[in-house]
Amino acid sequence: MVEAAAPAPAGALWSLHETAFTAGDRAILSPLTLGLPAGRVYGLIGPNGSGKSTLLKMLARQIAPTGGAIRFDGRPLTAWTGRAFAREVAYMPQFMPASDGMNVRELVSLGRYPWHGALGRFTAEDEARVEAAIQRTGLSAFRDRAVDSLSGGERQRAWLALMLAQGARCLLLDEPTSALDIAHQMEVLAILRELGDEAGTGAEGGAMTVIVILHDINLAARTCDGLLALRGGRLIAQGPCGEIMQPENLRAIYGLDMGVMAHPVSGAPMSYVL
Amino acid sequence: MAELALPRPTGMRPLPFGLALSALGLGLFALVLMRRPDLPGAAFDLDELLLWHSLLPRAATALLAGAALGLSGALLQRVLRNPIADPSTLGIAAGAQLALTLALAFAPALLALSREGTAFAGGVAAVALVLALSARRGFEPVTLVVAGMTLSLMAGALSAALILVRGDYVFALFIWGAGSLHQQNWEPAQLIGTRLALAAGATFLLRRPLGLMALDDAGARSLGMAVQGMRLAVIAVAVALAASVVSEVGVIGFVGLAAPALARVAGARRPDAVLLAAPLIGALLLWITDSLVQLTAGNGGDLIPTGAAVGLLGGPLLLWLLPRLRAAAPPLSVPATPRRRWRRPGRALAGLAVAALLAGLFALVAGRDLDGWALATGPLLTELLAFRAPRVVAAAAAGGLLGAAGAIMQKLTGNPLAGPEVLGVSAGAGVGLAAALLLAPDAGPGLLLAASAGGALGALLLVLAIAAATGFGAEKLLLAGIALGCMALAILSAFFAAGGPGSFLLLAWMAGTTDRVDLMQAAILAACALLLLLPVALAGRWLSLLPLGAGVAGSLGLRVAASQLLLTLLAAAMTGVAAFFVGPLSLVGLIGPHLARQLGLNRGAVFVFASALIGALVLLLADWLARMVAFPYQLPTGLLAALVGGPYLIWLLQRGDRHG
């Protein structure tokens, strides 16, 4: 097993120091020290109630940690102003709110708020970014459709397009595939994978950093560069997919006897319940 | 059928709770008995007279009426699977009251024939209307209650208008309408008691089918029950109970709502346990309240009617319950998708503005004189302008403000049913007004206006705070608003019951008369409208982001709390200023945004301006109609707007699911 409490490497995009979250006297997340370098796709896995969403929400500044500190790009999260942070980090909650009757283009343009603010002009640059995000998620044909009238997969892609239009270099996604069938899951995850591969999507010519909560361990292993496994509010394993996808690790994470085999075509590790 | 449910209670034991409540009731009643006046002995014992013919029957009436309301509420909640159903939220009480008021004003013979029957007919008509309107949405709890509350508001407006028209003759109705439990004999107690016994018997016989009602319709039907027939029968029993209470002691809200809720919180879990505990708790609740009312009474009689006092106690209770109410349903689905979209919403806005302008001109020029319809021109117009111009300007400005306030509230809460009337904000303005009238009887319009705006602000902040504490669920927000509105109306009825010179002023305000507006006031109102509407243009992007919820808006870098607070202040000021002129009932704050959405103008600032223009249009029309319908008499504008707008709104509500 990979040791969890490795010191945070210098220059990591995200660095957590003794970050903890307690509700009342219940520890949702035990003190966690962790560094995540930029330009990778990280999968956050673990059973229900293991603290994945809490961790992601703290990274997204949706909730404040009750102990310790989080730094993004070397600066404490509390030092960022709202819009400056939103230009760097985009967050998609687990449940999408109703979209208030907007069509796809209108929804995606909201992603430009961190750049133009309440009163700034909606520039040609904004327009181009919105258009690029719509293209990227394959929604060109749905540009003028009401978001509420789209299917689950299309709606998820519309929200993803909003995040892309935000121009952030880090995406945080809380179970973006939970309500989707397998084909639509693959669609969304393929976009995330591409973002992680492509130079120029993130900052300084590097690839985008993505942190995504996924329930399906096989999809996570297929999509991500590295996995972070939580259980009972503790980080119990961290490392490249191949290292995490071992029977003893999977038992530690899920409390279930599982085996691992190679994907018949790609050779990537796949787990199965024994 | 969507459902709300109370969570499994923890920690509270039913028995100690019941005992504590009983002890409180007994203790207070003992105090009431001890405090009775010491009367000098005479030929017959006055003390005994007082005891046997006033205090004891009053206690008995309170206990029995409370039990009847508790049972009625528990039955309704069970068959509709709706924890916020009760005779007052479904409009039954208001319907019964309106039937009695109508009968008293126009057909007193009916009352001689049967007060109870008249009330029952009104209650049945109200509940039939509410159920028919929400049937298409599967009796979804919040739709049902919003329809019921809208109906209650309209019935209340009509009653107020009747009282205005018929003057003192029906004014006593208001005191009765607010639920006074004064008794001279045992008759009401006997009447309610027999009805309660009959209903309890029926409930006992139906306890098994009622238990099955906990399942959904399909489940109950698959177990062999005739669901709809059963539902109608039980509703009839519940309405009969409520009607007998209304006909004897007037409208007493909240007991039917609070008793089953308290029973559940206190640990009654099984359906029959709730049905048994709710009447007992209801009885104690009303008894305790009535004892408190008697203990605070001065020499001139009760300070406030018991029904109003129950509202004062029940409102906070409902607010306390709200965070504990767990929504078992997916959030209210919002049929917000407009049918069309405008490439250039600016043009649509300009069209609306022209329409509003034309309507204003028409209202200035067209009218009736003693010979019939006429268009005023030349010197006649100049003469009439002095009378017509202030009203037209005031109506347009107030309508614009209410429409804009409603639109902002809908964006703030992401809820298409929010509005100044539904969220209790207008009623809050009334409380502010009442407080000003009470503390400074000679207050000028400026002070009254400020008080009205202050009341609206307090109400809106309270509602938003509650909504924030409960996570901004659409249902919870509406419920908080309804609870607050009921509380505010209870305070207002207490003010009416106290009488005094302010109460007729307040009554006129309730009905929304604009005929006292002078040119100066109209100018102030118009200036306020411009001043408050212009900043909205700067807040367009906030208004687009906020409906998506604090999470999404915050992650896009919006300062959620600050923008919410600013918009709240703006909406409250708009409501307070407008409600001061057209009263709390006009419903324009709901109709304007609804129509704007139907027209496809639902984005950001455009939505607010479109709602404002439509609101102005609606109120201009209502004001013109109010002047013309009963010429040469004038009807209150707000009332007319409510009477036109209410049915339209309910119609919208029930067809809303078509593209949802």
Write down the pLDDT at residue B231.
84
Q: Is residue A198 part of a domain?
A: yes
Q: Does B549 touch chain A (CB under 8 A)?
A: yes
Q: What residue numbers bound the domain in which B296 lies?
A: 64-326
pLDDT band at B172 (very low <50, low <70, confident <90, very high): low
Question: Is the model's pLDDT at A2 over the cut of 50?
Answer: no
Percentage of chain B lying above the pLDDT 90 cut: 14
Write down the pLDDT at residue A72.
93
Q: Is residue B9 part of a domain?
A: no
Angle between helices B474-497 and B168-177 (to 10 degrees): 130
B285 and B391 belong to one structural domain: no
B409 and B279 belong to one structural domain: no
- Give the C-alpha separation, A152 to B575, whole Å: 39
Interchain contact, A113 vs B545, CB within 8 Å: yes
Q: Is residue B389 part of a domain?
A: yes
Q: Is residue B552 part of a domain?
A: yes
Write down the pLDDT at residue B42.
55
Does the CA dihedral A117-A123-A129-A134 come out positive or negative?
A: positive
B296 and B368 belong to one structural domain: no
Question: Is the model's pLDDT at B505 over the cut of 90?
Answer: no
* Mean residue pLDDT across chain A: 87
B68 and B128 belong to one structural domain: yes
The mean pLDDT value for B613-636 works out to 85
Write down the pLDDT at residue B43.
53
pLDDT band at B1 (very low <50, low <70, confident <90, very high): very low
* Mean residue pLDDT across chain B: 79
The mean pLDDT value for B591-595 works out to 88
Comparing A145-149, B24-28, B222-226, B611-615, the range with the smallest average pLDDT is: B222-226
Q: What is the pTM of this model?
A: 0.77
B356 and B312 belong to one structural domain: no
Q: Is residue B56 part of a domain?
A: no
Question: Is the model's pLDDT at B22 over the cut of 60?
Answer: yes
Write down the pLDDT at residue B610.
94
Instruction: Select from B333, B336, B556 the Cβ nearest to the Cβ of A86.
Output: B556
Q: Is residue B10 part of a domain?
A: no
B322 and B370 belong to one structural domain: no
B362 and B493 belong to one structural domain: yes
Interchain contact, B602 vs A101, CB within 8 Å: yes
Write down the pLDDT at residue B183.
67
Q: Does A115 touch chain B (CB under 8 A)?
A: no
pLDDT band at A203 (very low <50, low <70, confident <90, very high): low
Structural domain count, chain A: 1
Question: Is the model's pLDDT at B137 over the cut of 50?
Answer: yes
- Most trustworthy range by pLDDT among B11-25, B108-122, B201-215, B393-407: B393-407
B372 and B442 belong to one structural domain: yes
Q: How far is CA B567 from the centre of its chain?
A: 24
Write down the pLDDT at residue B340.
63
Interchain contact, A102 vs B603, CB within 8 Å: yes
H-helix or E-strand containing B537? Answer: none
Write down the pLDDT at residue B527.
94
Write down the pLDDT at residue B331.
40
B114 and B240 belong to one structural domain: yes
Question: Is the model's pLDDT at A4 over the cut of 50?
Answer: no
B301 and B380 belong to one structural domain: no
Write down the pLDDT at residue B402.
93
Q: What residue numbers bound the domain in which A50 lies?
A: 38-63+82-241
The mean pLDDT value for B541-549 works out to 87
Residues of B whose CB is below 8 A from A85: 557
The mean pLDDT value for A192-214 works out to 79
Are the C-beta atoms of B153 and B278 separated by less than 8 Å?
A: no
Buried b (16+ CB within 10 A) or exposed e, A30-42: bbbbbbbbbbbbb
Question: Is the model's pLDDT at A216 over the cut of 70?
Answer: yes
Q: Does A64 touch chain B (CB under 8 A)?
A: no
B306 and B437 belong to one structural domain: no
Q: Is residue B538 part of a domain?
A: yes
Domain CATH number, residue B298 = 1.10.3470.10
Residues of B whose CB is below 8 A from A86: 555-557
Q: Is residue B248 part of a domain?
A: yes
B354 and B297 belong to one structural domain: no
Q: Please tell me which residue, A52 or B253, carries the higher pLDDT value.
A: A52
The mean pLDDT value for B414-442 works out to 81
Interface test with A, best of B412, B556, B563, B611 (most A CBs within 10 A): B556
Q: Is residue A53 part of a domain?
A: yes
Interchain contact, B545 vs A62, CB within 8 Å: no
Domain CATH number, residue A141 = 3.40.50.300
Q: Is residue A74 part of a domain?
A: no
Q: Which residues contact B292 (CB under 8 A, 6 or more apart)?
A: B28, B309
Comparing B41-55, B333-347, B522-536, B612-626, the range with the smallest average pLDDT is: B333-347
Q: Is residue B585 part of a domain?
A: yes
Residue type, A69: A
- Give the C-alpha separation, B398 to B194, whole Å: 50
Does the CA dihedral A227-A230-A234-A237 come out positive or negative?
A: negative
Q: Which residues contact B483 (CB under 8 A, 6 or more apart)?
A: B314, B315, B318, B319, B322, B424
pLDDT in tens, B305-357: 777 778 777 777 767 766 665 543 434 444 445 556 677 788 888 999 999 99
Query: Between the CA of residue A204 and those of A38, A39, A166, what are the distances in Å?
Result: 11, 10, 16
Structural domain count, chain B: 2
Write down the pLDDT at residue B407.
94
Q: Is residue A69 part of a domain?
A: no
Q: Is residue A24 part of a domain?
A: no
H-helix or E-strand containing A51? Answer: none
Instruction: Select from A91, A100, A103 the Cβ nearest to the Cβ of B555.
Output: A91
pLDDT in tens, B552-561: 888 898 888 8
pLDDT in tens, B265-288: 777 777 778 888 999 999 998 988
pLDDT band at B64 (very low <50, low <70, confident <90, very high): very high
- The ipTM assigned to this model is 0.80
Q: Is residue A262 part of a domain?
A: no
